[in-house]
Amino acid sequence: MNGKVPLTLLCFSALAFACGPRSRSEGTTAAGDTRRATAPANSNSPLAPALDVTVNERVRFSFNVTNASKKKLEVNFPDGQTHEVIVLDTLGREVWRWSEGRLFTQAMQNKVLRTSDRLEYNEVWRDPAPGTYVAVARLASENYPVEQRVEFTVRR
């Protein structure tokens, strides 16, 4: 019985920590505002991702990936899909995916990025419901996969 009490307290403590408040470096997005997230300076990838989310009647995603290295890079993609944008709700459930219902070629492709060159992808979520979400943008590269996340709020 003595062993159950500390174990129970430990479990409740871990649950409280996991479900507790999160620190946020930026506020949530109001209508017409733009949220931006960039890769931390100490990232190990030579590619620096940045994701802008603009909320109006629609949600616009601008995903940019810049070659931050001092040499030319060849970015390889296994098929025609170069990127992905996913929107998750506060419980982590997927509510929208850019690639849903799209077809992509099965041909491999390569893109060469010189120093400071960047890849730009702009997508739109046309009918968002009010709520707080996290946008996850990913570069679908085999050799330099990067991801960026931004929290945003849709209000009506």
Query: Within a 13 Å sphere around the CA of 12, how many CA atoms are in the beta-carbon half?
Result: 6
SS3 51: strand
To the question of domain 4-154 being in CATH 2.60.40.2360, the answer is: yes
The pTM assigned to this predicted structure is: 0.75
Instruction: Check pLDDT > 60 for residue 25.
Output: no
Q: Give the single-character DSSP code of 131.
A: E
Encode pLDDT of 116-126 as tens digits.
Answer: 999 999 999 99
For 21, list phi and psi in degrees, rounded to 5: -65, 150
For residue 82, the model assigns a pLDDT of 97
Instruction: Check pLDDT > 60 for residue 11.
Output: no
Place of tokens 């733009």: 34
Sorting pLDDT into bands at 50, 70 and 90, what band is 22?
very low
* DSSP assignment of 72-114: -EEEEESSS--EEEEEE-TTS-EEEETTTT-------EEEEE-
Instruction: Check pLDDT > 60 for residue 1.
Output: no
Encode pLDDT of 136-150 as tens digits.
Answer: 999 999 999 999 999
For residue 5, the model assigns a pLDDT of 53
User: What Cα–Cα distance (Å) separates residue 137 from each residue in 40, 60, 111, 150?
Assistant: 15, 12, 18, 9
Sorting pLDDT into bands at 50, 70 and 90, what band is 156?
confident
Residue 118 tokens, joined? 């960047």
Residue 24 tokens, joined? 């946020």
- Radius of gyration, alpha carbons of the chain: 19
Encode pLDDT of 124-139 as tens digits.
Answer: 999 999 999 999 999 9
